[in-house]
Amino acid sequence: MKSLSIALILLLGLFGAYAFFAEKAPASPDKMSGSLYYHPAVYKTKGKASLAEPLRQEVAQAFIPEELTFAGERIPLEDYEVYERLDRELISISYRHSHTARILKLANRWFPTIEPILEAHGVPDDFKYLAVAESGLENVISPKNARGFWQFLKETGRSHGLEIGSDIDERYHVEKSTEAAAKYLKNAYGKLNSWTTAAGGYNMGVKGISNQMERQQQGNYFDLYLNSETSRYVFRILAYKLLLSNPEKYGFQLQETDLYPPIPHTRLEVSSISDIADFAHEHGTTYKHLKLLNQWLIGTSLKARKGKKYTIKIPK
């Protein structure tokens, strides 16, 4: 009887040791994921993420006025589909905070350059917002290889007077590309007899939107059934017009000192530059700052061209 009790105690001891070491032992290879051990109950229900409380944020309806015009032409907001297209773009840019805040800052720098050029060519001031919709007022490159503030393709740019070569790409020249865009828009207006439709034609092409007007027997951009990109395009411009004209109404509380000022500079006329880095140092600036002010200089030099001179901006 005594020996039986001892055997039972030993057996219980062995079972307890097995349970202890089994708990401490690593999982078998089939229960491992990468370099981490597999644990059956990963998600706990006591963490903050599981609390039945709403995410603390404020989302409000973006303001849409009762009446709205573009380039002096009335927008038919009583049409539910027109209203909802504008609403969509306002929601998009109002809550895309970082991108829109940067545009507000850049507009302070570049609108004073763009506005007088549009005016000189007889193009309504509202078209400055087209440049915002196209590029965010930066010299960007699209997936289709359109470039600059106004997003010109190479052949379209050349046909409107922009020089594009191995060392120069005037699609990146803010003043000259704005002049080219103004010429395009003035020509589009002459063919379409509507500034709003001309804006749509800037995206789709004058021929493309003319074909749609003929096919659908409509003479107004807002009555056309268009592809998604062109359908949204004019409304993106309108949304930027509303927001940039009154940013506080859409929740952007930037002070005047937060905005980017125009970059002080002088101008120098040249026929060629053998080395842009040397040229920059000779004029008391750096290669970086000279290139930032003259992004149309895409090479490290500027070749001489018979009978041509170029204006270079020199940072002060």
Burial annotation 101-122 (CB, 10 A radius, 16+ → b, else e): eebbebbbebbeebeebbeeee
Give the model's pLDDT for residue 30. 46
Number of domains in the chain: 2
Among the three residues 237, 258, 279, which one is the final residue of a domain in this structure? 258
Count of Cβ atoms closer than 10 Å to residue 70 Cβ: 22
Give the model's pLDDT for residue 59. 87
Give the model's pLDDT for residue 50. 54
Give the model's pLDDT for residue 44. 59
Q: Tokens 């209203």, residue?
A: 83
Q: Within this chain, do residues 157 and 286 fall inside the same structural domain, yes or no?
A: no
Within-domain flag for 120: yes
Q: Within this chain, do residues 306 and 220 fall inside the same structural domain, yes or no?
A: no
Among the three residues 241, 258, 275, which one is the final residue of a domain in this structure? 258
DSSP 152: B
Q: Please choose, from the candidates 151, 243, 235, the residue with its C-alpha nearest in 3D space to the C-alpha of residue 196.
A: 235
Q: Within this chain, do residues 84 and 229 fall inside the same structural domain, yes or no?
A: yes
State how far the Cα of 224 lies from the Cα of 205, in Å rounded to an integer: 15
Among the three residues 215, 243, 258, which one is the final residue of a domain in this structure? 258
Within-domain flag for 15: no
Give the global pTM: 0.82
Q: Tokens 């034609």, residue?
A: 201
pLDDT tens track for 110-156: 999 999 999 999 999 999 999 999 999 999 999 999 999 999 999 99
Q: Within this chain, do residues 162 and 276 fall inside the same structural domain, yes or no?
A: no
H-helix or E-strand containing 280?
Answer: helix 276-282
Block mean pLDDT (10 aa), the chain, length 316? 54 54 48 48 56 74 95 97 97 95 98 98 98 98 97 97 97 98 98 97 97 96 96 98 96 96 97 98 98 98 96 97
Whole domain around residue 178: which residue ranges?
Answer: 69-258
State how far the Cα of 115 lies from the Cα of 263, in Å rounded to an integer: 17
Q: Within this chain, do residues 160 and 306 fall inside the same structural domain, yes or no?
A: no
